[in-house]
């Protein structure tokens, strides 16, 4: 085993250990959320292919959407080359997938082209974030640290593409100086290699190794930064689309315990299956009350601001920001989750998601129009979480706006939302009958 292999194995082990510890903590947090079974897996699979694979929702804004889609598709192609680099580093091979022949040439050639395209697009994204002051990149929830986080992640992706191109360029130059044929096709790197002039085989090999190691170590570093970043969606966006809600937008899931009681009131002899335990409480007041899908939504949020940008409440000056709702859920679980792991499920730090993170004013500003859910590129359904928090306020705390309290009272007393007794509901038609006579 060579020194290069030993160093590579050590670096890979450190990466996997640190990443594993981080992911273990996150998966521990999922233990504190509510169960939600997944149904209709085949439909979910095709939605995942359409939304995540073909990036259909992000294409709603064609120009910037297509740019982002190119980055996503490029990463998928480049991932194959990254896997090859890991195998080469572990076992001391050189371009091990080269045995695939023409297929290898096509894949590596596409990866070389995409590396250049992604580098250019990342520069465009950085320019937009730093100089163009796009409205949806700002908001009360977008603190200076979140902006630095986005710029750091984009900068690291740029460096990854530069070092990948550097690896390819100096591999091509090394092959040329040694008079051997390069394994694979490198259309962009072969052209860029012409700008370096005549160099010795030793120099070409040295710079190939510098770029190769830089690329590998950046991947290791990037993988361990992502779970703490908005760019965690690089890992989670595809599975998040798979587990997302597949019902039509606007569909409201009934609360089983209440549905059961209503059915029994209407027909006491009707059989009601006991398929769900009685809830400890109605709705959501803290991060531990949400379903595991809602928490995964929060981890997958790209913080792109498309949801807030189309929110009619936000656009009319109200405090509601659908993006903030998801960011707050993630932050709250990060805060409480550590205590839950250390002290058990009975741990209470005296805080809650409602009031300490999300105000009642924000929740009642939502019109449930589902514009945010329609726009979200990773299929997050913010209105369903907002509705669950409203349910808690109404059913547990009896804290509804005065207008709703009036409606509730009318339903209780009159059997309808209007402030008329059942006997008086048709009085409006008396004048019509008089005119007919």
Query: SS3 for 352-408, per residue?
Result: CHHHHCECHHHHHHCCCCCHHHHHCCCCCCHHHHHHHHHHHHHHHCCCCCHHHHHHH
CB 353 within 8 A of CB 389: yes
Contact call for residues 243 and 35 (beta carbons, < 8 A): no
pLDDT tens, N- to C-terminus, the chain (437 residues): 899 999 999 999 999 999 999 999 999 999 999 999 999 999 999 999 999 999 999 999 999 999 999 999 999 999 999 999 999 999 999 999 999 999 999 999 999 999 999 999 999 999 999 999 899 999 989 999 998 999 999 999 999 999 999 999 999 999 999 999 999 999 999 999 999 988 999 999 999 999 999 999 999 999 999 999 988 999 999 999 999 999 999 999 888 878 887 888 788 777 766 655 556 689 999 999 999 999 999 999 999 999 999 999 999 999 999 999 999 999 999 999 999 999 998 899 999 999 999 999 999 999 999 999 999 999 999 999 999 999 999 999 989 998 888 898 888 888 888 888 888 878 878 877 766 65
Residue with tokens 């981080």: 22
Bridge partners (DSSP) listed for residue 354: 358
Q: How does 194-214 read in b/e, with b if 16+ C-beta sit within 10 Å?
A: eeeeebeeeebbebbeebbbb
CB distance 272 to 263 below 8 Å: yes
Alpha-carbon span 387 to 363, nearest angstrom:
8
Q: Determine the Cα–Cα distance for residues 296 and 33; give it in Å rounded to an integer.
A: 10
Gyration radius of the chain over CA positions: 28
**pLDDT tens digits, one per residue of 229-251:** 988 999 999 999 999 999 999 99
In this structure, how many other beta carbons lie within 10 angstroms of the beta carbon of residue 153?
A: 19
C-beta of residue 119 within 8 angstroms of C-beta of residue 162: yes
In order, the DSSP letters of 263-276 are HHHH-TTS-----S
Beta carbons within 8 Å of 414's beta carbon, 6+ residues apart: 420, 421, 422
Closest CA relative to residue 362, chosen from 393, 336, 396, 337? 393
C-alpha distances (whole Å) from 323 to each of 72, 138, 307, 308, 358 are: 22, 11, 6, 6, 12
Query: First-to-last CA distance in the chain?
Result: 105
Q: State how far the Cα of 243 lies from the Cα of 300, in Å rounded to an integer.
A: 11
Distances in Å between the alpha carbon of 141 and those of 153, 154, 386?
A: 19, 20, 17
**C-alpha to C-alpha distance for 344 and 263, rounded to whole angstroms:** 37
- Apex 99 CA angle, 93 and 104, nearest 5: 105
Q: What is the DSSP track for 36-101? A: -----HHHHHHHHIIIIIS-TTGGGSHHHHHHHHHHHHHHHHHHHHHHHHHHHHHHT-SSGGGGGT
Contact assessment for residue 415 and residue 408, using Cβ atoms and an 8 Å cutoff: no
């Amino acid at each position: 085993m060579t020194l290069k292999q030993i160093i590579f194995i050590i670096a890979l082990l450190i990466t996997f250990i640190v990443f594993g510890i981080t992911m273990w903590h996150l998966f521990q947090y999922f233990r504190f959320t509510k169960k939600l079974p997944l149904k209709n897996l085949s439909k979910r699979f095709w939605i995942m292919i359409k939304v995540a694979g073909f990036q259909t929702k992000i294409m709603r804004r064609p120009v910037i959407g297509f740019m982002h889609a190119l980055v996503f598709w490029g990463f998928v192609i480049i991932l194959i080359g990254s896997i090859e680099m890991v195998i080469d580093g572990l076992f001391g091979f050189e371009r091990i997938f080269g045995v695939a022949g023409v297929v290898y040439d096509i894949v590596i050639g596409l990866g070389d082209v995409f590396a250049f395209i992604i580098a250019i697009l990342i520069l465009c994204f950085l320019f937009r974030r730093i100089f163009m002051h796009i409205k949806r990149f700002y908001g009360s929830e977008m603190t200076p640290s979140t902006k630095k986080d986005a710029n750091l992640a984009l900068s690291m992706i740029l460096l990854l593409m530069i070092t990948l191109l550097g690896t390819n360029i100096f591999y091509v130059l090394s092959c040329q100086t040694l008079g051997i044929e390069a394994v694979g096709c490198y259309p962009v790197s072969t052209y860029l290699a012409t700008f370096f002039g005549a160099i010795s085989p030793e120099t070409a090999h040295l710079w190939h190794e510098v770029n190769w190691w830089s690329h590998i170590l950046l991947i290791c570093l990037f993988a361990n930064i992502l779970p703490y970043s908005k760019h965690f969606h690089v890992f989670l966006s595809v599975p998040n689309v798979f587990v997302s809600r597949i019902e039509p937008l606007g569909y409201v899931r009934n609360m089983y315990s209440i549905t059961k009681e209503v059915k029994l009131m209407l027909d006491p002899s009707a059989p009601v299956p006991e398929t769900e335990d009685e809830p400890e409480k109605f709705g959501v007041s803290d991060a531990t009350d949400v379903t595991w899908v809602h928490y995964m939504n929060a981890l997958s949020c790209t913080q792109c601001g498309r949801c807030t940008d189309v929110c009619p409440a936000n656009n009319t000056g109200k405090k509601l920001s659908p993006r903030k709702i998801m960011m707050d859920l993630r932050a709250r679980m990060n805060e409480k989750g550590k205590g839950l792991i250390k002290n058990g499920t009975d741990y209470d730090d005296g805080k809650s998601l409602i009031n300490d993170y999300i105000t009642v004013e924000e929740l009642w500003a939502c019109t449930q129009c589902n514009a945010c859910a329609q726009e979200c590129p990773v299929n997050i359904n913010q209105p369903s979480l907002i509705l669950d928090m409203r349910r808690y306020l109404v059913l547990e705390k009896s804290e509804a706006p005065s207008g709703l309290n009036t409606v509730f009272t009318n339903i209780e007393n009159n059997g309808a939302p209007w402030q008329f007794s059942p006997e008086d509901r048709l009085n409006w038609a008396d004048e019509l009958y008089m005119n007919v006579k």
